[in-house]
Amino acid sequence: MLANKTAAVTGSTSGIGLALARAYAAQGANVVINGFGEAEAIEKERAGIEREFGVQCRYSPADMTKPDEIAAMIADAEREFGAVDVLCNNAGIQHVSPIDEFPIEKWDAIIAINLSSSFHTIRAALPGMKRKGWGRIVNTASAHALVASPFKSAYVAAKHGIAGLTKTVALEVAQQNITVNAICPGYVWTPLVERQIPDTMKARNMTEEQVKRDVLLAAQPTKQFVTVDQVAALAVFLCSDAASAITGAILPMDGGWTAQ
């Protein structure tokens, strides 16, 4: 479906982003992966994508807090592959703390990575999409783009911001064959979620199973984690012709969380 197209996925060395990059490669797209991690592990993923799917895959180390590096990532992809047809804004971090104790540098980092980086990627990639008369922007938002939880002020603010950015850009390019949507997963089993477990076990004197059931999945009626492959399947569908009328949509995939 995406042969001769290029997909750039921010924050794709792990978790949801890696699943997105692999899913686009499986559709025949060349992909740009991005994010942090051990050089050897990243190179293994990169080479594995090329081998498994017969596409080209480049790694960009661009730091999503740095506008210059973000612009360079898009320019490099356009130079090497001719275009960025599919842009997935997925990089994200979390920090959990009451707002009056929230470290200022954590607030700044979350707003930069989870929100402003999408402004910078879209700003850089949109002219190329307009020239080609086709584009797909898929933002990984969160159930926290629709509802809040205490102690996640920066994350919730950034994700609500992504919902607003998604709708605004969708309106700006609505007649140019470019769609802009946000996927809002509930809890997905990834390293981002896994890292919260030991601290929560300690803070609440709970077992791992109790943390999963009574804390993490408390808001999720299905009591099941969303899978990275489910998120990736929706992200692929949003790039299909069948989805060309879906734009400016903030799409929950949250096991019923935001239905409550």
Q: Residue numbers of the site for ligand NAD (CB under 6 A)?
A: 11-17, 34-37, 63-65, 90-93, 113-114, 140, 142, 185, 187-188, 190-193
Residue 24, classed as helix, strand or coil, is helix
DSSP tag of 258: G
48-61: b (≥16 Cβ within 10 Å) or e: ebeeebebbbbbbe
Which residue lies nearer to ligand NAD by CB, 102 or 134?
A: 102
- Residue 32: how many CB atoms within 10 A of its CB? 30
CB of 1 to ligand NAD, least distance (A): 23
The set of residues, in sequence order, having a beta carbon less than 8 Å from that of 170 and lying 6+ positions away, is 179, 180, 181, 247, 248, 249
Which residue lies nearer to ligand NAD by CB, 130 or 157?
A: 157
Pairing of the two strands 250-253 and 178-185: parallel
Which residue lies nearer to ligand NAD by CB, 93 or 249?
A: 93
Q: Is 59 a catalytic residue?
A: no
Which residue lies nearer to ligand NAD by CB, 189 or 237?
A: 189
Detail the DSSP E strand segments found in the chain. Answer: 6-9, 30-34, 57-60, 86-89, 135-140, 178-185, 250-253
DSSP tag of 227: P
CB of 196 to ligand NAD, least distance (A): 9
CB of 11 to ligand NAD, least distance (A): 3
- Residue holding tokens 């959990």? 96
Cβ atoms 28, 1 nearer than 8 A: yes
DSSP tag of 225: P
What's the rounded Cα separation, in Å, for the pair 79 and 215?
46
What's the rounded Cα separation, in Å, for the pair 124 and 67?
10
CB of 241 to ligand NAD, least distance (A): 26
CB of 215 to ligand NAD, least distance (A): 13
| CA distances to 16, 20, 60, 202 from 35, in Å | 12, 13, 7, 29
Which residue lies nearer to ligand NAD by CB, 63 or 85?
A: 63
CB of 99 to ligand NAD, least distance (A): 19
Which residue lies nearer to ligand NAD by CB, 4 or 199?
A: 199
Catalytic residues: 155
